[in-house]
Structure 1
Amino acid sequence: MRVVIAEDNVLLSAGLELLLDAKGIKVAEVVTDAPGLMRAVEEHAPDAVIADVRLPPTFRDEGIRAALTLRQAHPGLPVLVLSQYVEKVYARELLSDGSGGVGYLLKDRVSRVSEFVDGLRRVASGGTAMDPEVIAQLMARGDRAAIDALTDREREVLTLMAEGLGNTEIGRRLFVTDNAVHKHIGNIFAKLGLPVSETGHRRVLAVLAYLNSQE
């Protein structure tokens, strides 16, 4: 796997390079701003992009905006966004095209190397990786009208889906069988109005519906 990193913090970017190299993941280039990220992606055609939400010069949303622009220019480009804080709107925007291959992790997650690398690989393979803290904070606030119909167990399953876990991982976490997880997910899709004929990425759309309910 080859990645491009957009991160202006020299210590963090150097640390990312070292840990990814140790896991057999090549860093094609490290850039420090949005224009550099756009150029690097065109030049290296990486398997995934790791980008800080906030990049120079204003340190507001340059990184995420560049990532979203790249996803429009290169549909399906895997993007893993790193943020210092939980910023709900960005998590929702990343999922808005329903195609997967996106992640939103807090920077603290990088220190948990196995979890971080697992999340990156999941994103690169077209899945999602949402930080548990992001999901926890979203669950703790806002109007949850869109998920009121879900049972407590279905909410637990949806939360783990939002983190990017697959059926088997969810089953292990909740100590239930794969069949039980499959049934819960089917109920979630039905209650969120995502029928079998839906052509989009239904797991991502379910998570998006969940995030949208947190307005």
Structure 2
Amino acid sequence: MRIALAEDSALLRVGLTELLTSRGHKVHTAVDNAADLLAAVAAAADGELPDVVVLDNRMPPTFTNEGIRAALELRRSHPRIGVLVLSQYVETRYASDLLAGNPAGVGYLLKDRVADVGDFLAALGRLARGETVLDPEVVRQLMGASHRRSELEPLTPREREVLGLMAQGRTNAGVGSTLFLSAGAVEKNITSIFSKLGLQQSPADHRRVLAVLAYLQSA
């Protein structure tokens, strides 16, 4: 297989390169950032495109989500290339986008849970054949995130706006002045939010805080 690597850790990048070449694979590219990876793939001739791209999620310059955004770009521009996100973190929002539509040839593994070299190489082969490879922990977190998002589905767009301002710490008066709503309208929206989220009035719970937590967890 031809494999492209994007990993900012020099030790891991060199280690993966040596591992793959020792097993008879060709390392197409080995860089430390997503921009150089995308440029290398874009410059490759059709017959020299990598079969699989392995990339970290958090890379220079911001160390946030450069890798998985590059994976999304690769899926758009070269859907036949297998893409493996190999990361320490599960970015549920972007991972969901990556798997949306056609997940064939998409993988997401956690570095700390790759315990067997043979299993890792087998995963690359499966991706090259168009299969999907996901760590069970990734699946668990994606399912949890999907459940949290579904909790907000009953809310109207206006109720989501109100809840979003509540999450910013706005009082009822602050929500009303921002959205040009009367005090009664704000209270009506908040009561509806509590009802749709199943938050019953209780001396042991603060419904406003619980509603904000549900909003933040769905982001």
TM-score, with length taken from structure 1:
0.62
- 1:129 to 2:159 alignment: no
Aligned-residue offset at 1:143: 2.6
Of 108, 128, 138, the residue aligned with 2:112 is: 108
Structure 1 residue runs without a partner (length 5+):
147-214
**Alpha carbon RMSD of aligned pairs, Å?**
2.4
The 2-side partners of 1:84 and 1:138 are apart by 15
- Letter matched to residue 27 of structure 2: V
Moved more, 9-18 or 90-99: 90-99
1:58 aligns with 2:62: yes
The C-alpha deviation readout for 1:44-90, integer Å capped at 9, x for no partner, is: 41111111111100001111111211211122321001111222223
Q: Which residue of 1 aligns with 2:91?
A: 87
Q: Which has the higher contact order (CA 8 A, sep 6+)?
A: 1
Aligned length in residues: 148
User: Which residue matches 1:195?
Assistant: none
Q: Which has the larger radius of gyration?
A: 2
- Contact kept in structure 1, 2:89 and 2:110, CA below 8 Å: yes
The 8 Å contact of residues 6 and 32 in structure 1, kept in 2 or not, is answered as yes
In structure 2, what residue type is equivalent to 1:8? D
SS of equivalent residue, structure 1 residue 143: helix
**CA distance 1:11–1:110, change in 2 (3 Å):** farther
**In 1: Cα distance, 2:145 partner to 2:73 partner:** 29
State how 1:1-215 maps to structure 2 within 5 Å.
1-44=1-44, 45-138=49-142, 143=147
Query: After the TM superposition, which parts of structure 1 deviate over 6 Å for at least 4 consecutive aligned residues?
Result: none
Q: Which residue of 2 aligns with 1:177?
A: none
Mean CA deviation greater in 91-100 or 54-63: 91-100
Classify the secondary structure of the residue corresponding to 1:75: coil
Deviation readout 1:69-121 (Å, 9 max, x if unpaired): 12111223210011112222232121113151100000124442111111111
SS of structure 2 residue aligned to 1:81: strand
CA distance in 2, matches of 1:69, 1:134: 21
State percent identity of aligned pairs: 52
Gaps of at least 5 residues in structure 2 are: 151-217
Partner of 1:199: none
**Displacement, 1:141?**
6.9
